[in-house]
Amino acid sequence: MPATTELDHRYQSAKATLAQRGQEHVLRWWEGLAPNDRDSLLTDVESIPWDILGSLIHTHVLATPTRNIPQDLRPAEVHPAEPQAKFTKKYDDARKLGRQLLTEGRVAAFTVAGGQGTRLGVDGPKGEVEVTPAGGRTLFQIFGETVLAARRRYGCAIPWYVMTSPANHDATVACFARNGYFGLPPEDVVLFPQGMLPALDFDGKLLLSDKHRIAMAPDGHGGSLKALAKNRALADMCKRGIEIISYFQVDNPLAKPFDPLFLGLHADTGSEMSTKVTRKADDLERVGNVCVQDGRVVVIEYSDFPDVYAHATHADGSRKFDAGNIAIHLLDVAFVDRLVGQSLQLPFRRAEKKVAFVDASGERVEPKSPNAVKLEMFVFDAIGLARNPLLLEVDRAEEFSPVKNATGVDSLETAKRDQTSRACRWLEAAGVSVPRKPDGQPDLTIAMAPSFALEAADVAENIDRVPKLKPRDTVVLT
């Protein structure tokens, strides 16, 4: 078909689709658009999953979905970080099994990096943010070096899958290329974009971010399951003999994707999806609460968690619902394949956000308050669908310090502080003397690269590379 005829054909089809759904305004600026811009606009229209959008507008945009107050919740059974004496052997065996799974090449790393990083306020991929307390390493670099160190340790080609979004995909690919794939063979690093959904105004109308673009947003980290299948990453995993996906988020520099204990317990219990949890910092901490409802493990967001449960205590006064989700999961490839094959539909969540748009007069508007609904799926909603889900408690200080905000709680500042603190604890456990302030905080800055130590026990092997640590030093251990 000649190019103009093809474009016209697509235009007629888009026009009919939009008219049928009361969204004709999307083509308002068509006459003045250059051919390339017309193509972009049609591509946006064609990418929209119209089959689900219509009903979502009714249930999640025009109406606010009624939240059922969770009833009959019970605390979930959690494997403790330190086992009781009678389970020591079980944990030791699990560690052995985990190492075996890694050595046999049955585990892949999977980073979700498709988010918009709005709270942090970065332009471009969050993974490019320099996050180490010294040495200027980025989040992507830390994880790249972690995968590299694990490949060396286990003598096996562990692949790394990274989910981007259409908004940051090209920038992420360029970053990986510029950095030589962080020393990894490019064929073992698989980058693919997640799905997008349009943002809608409160009347359920599509917004234009430009005269030729529909305002779209990533469909949440829950979109990763469909995206793995759609981009043939699942098929690629099967070809490589991968059985377990180690899922973690791009904004947590303390994540340990290759934890033999977690892997071994997951495999040993026949769990299809496992999750690491930490004890909550306080009753109302802003984390998902991992509990049991109707015999299924569920994660209930802090905003939906009734006070009566949040403040509930055991007879000894300890917190009853104390398992906080830290977004570190293991998923069986076969489980994801099954869910996706069954036309998996994780529930959508409504979030009201500020979305810039072009108004009817062609002016760009930067709203000062939320003007639109974004729709997202959350990966933890898959836990309730898994057989034998396993929960493992870990020490937050060792594994979780997310970079969410520009300042304050969960910011770059706290993530850098927590990396130094962990490095100091690991050094002290190996007998190194670390200068500390009177309040016990480290009196220096230390960045410890994954090539130096993947876990605390590795420090002893490299002890001769540690200089004498003096107050207010800045040290990078590689």
Q: Which of 23, 138, 194, 271 binds ligand UTP (CB under 6 A)?
A: 194
Kind plus residue range of the DSSP H or E element containing 109: strand 107-112
Amino acid at 227: A
Name which of residues 53 to 92 contact ligand UTP (CB under 6 A): none
13 phi and psi, to 5 degrees? -65, -45
Partners of residue 111 on adjacent β-strands? 162, 248
Which of 15, 349 has the CB closer to ligand UTP? 349
Which of 249, 275 has the CB closer to ligand UTP? 249
Show the tokens assigned to 38: 């017309």
Contact status: 195 vs ligand UTP (CB under 6 A): no
Contact status: 126 vs ligand UTP (CB under 6 A): yes
Minimum Å gap between C-beta 248 and ligand UTP is 8
Separation CA 188–CA 159 (nearest Å): 5
Q: Which of 73, 76, 101, 112 binds ligand UTP (CB under 6 A)?
A: 112
Separation CA 475–CA 473 (nearest Å): 6
Other residues' Cβ atoms within 10 Å of the Cβ of residue 200: 24
The DSSP line for 144-175 is HHHHHHHHHHHTS---EEEEE-TTTHHHHHHH
Which of 114, 159 has the CB closer to ligand UTP? 114
Per rule CB under 6 A, count of chain residues that contact ligand UTP: 21
Non-local (6+) Cβ contacts of 414 within 8 A are 401, 408
Q: Which of 10, 95, 99, 119 binds ligand UTP (CB under 6 A)?
A: 119
**Residues 351/353/359/362 CA torsion (nearest 10 deg):** -120
Q: Which stretch binds ligand UTP (CB under 6 A): 26-34, 61-69, 117-125, 448-456?
A: 117-125
Q: Which stretch binds ligand UTP (CB under 6 A): 78-86, 248-256, 316-324, 444-452?
A: 248-256
Q: Which of 23, 249, 289, 421 binds ligand UTP (CB under 6 A)?
A: 249
The DSSP line for 432-462 is ----B-TTS-BSSEEEE-TTT-SSGGGGGGG
Exposure string over 3-26, b if 16+ CB within 10 A, otherwise e: eeeeeeebbeebbeebeebebeeb
Which of 271, 325 has the CB closer to ligand UTP? 325
Separation CA 352–CA 287 (nearest Å): 19
Contact status: 414 vs ligand UTP (CB under 6 A): no
Which residue's Cβ lies closest to ligand UTP?
Answer: 115
DSSP 392: E
Which of 8, 170 has the CB closer to ligand UTP? 170
Contact status: 163 vs ligand UTP (CB under 6 A): yes
What does R_g of the chain's alpha carbons equal in angstroms? Answer: 24
Q: Which stretch binds ligand UTP (CB under 6 A): 46-54, 94-102, 116-124, 286-294?
A: 116-124
CB 138 within 8 A of CB 129: yes
Q: Which of 44, 128, 145, 251 binds ligand UTP (CB under 6 A)?
A: 251
Separation CA 26–CA 45 (nearest Å): 9
User: By three-state DSSP, how is residue 476 classified?
Assistant: strand
Strands (E), 220-303: 244-249, 273-279, 289-293, 296-300
In total, the chain counts a number of residues equal to 478
CB 127 within 8 A of CB 113: yes
Which of 60, 79 has the CB closer to ligand UTP? 60
Q: Which stretch binds ligand UTP (CB under 6 A): 110-118, 235-243, 279-287, 341-349?
A: 110-118
Which of 106, 329 has the CB closer to ligand UTP? 329
Q: Which stretch binds ligand UTP (CB under 6 A): 25-33, 169-177, 249-257, 354-362?
A: 249-257
Contact status: 293 vs ligand UTP (CB under 6 A): no
Q: Which of 115, 133, 257, 264 binds ligand UTP (CB under 6 A)?
A: 115
Non-local (6+) Cβ contacts of 297 within 8 A are 76, 275, 290, 291, 383, 384, 386, 389, 391
Minimum Å gap between C-beta 343 and ligand UTP is 20
Name which of residues 365 to 404 contact ligand UTP (CB under 6 A): 376, 404
Q: Which of 57, 61, 101, 113 binds ligand UTP (CB under 6 A)?
A: 113
412 phi and psi, to 5 degrees? -60, -40
Minimum Å gap between C-beta 62 and ligand UTP is 23
Q: Which stretch binds ligand UTP (CB under 6 A): 56-64, 111-119, 135-143, 175-183?
A: 111-119
Residues that bind ligand UTP (CB under 6 A): 112-119, 126, 163, 194, 218-221, 223, 249-251, 376, 404
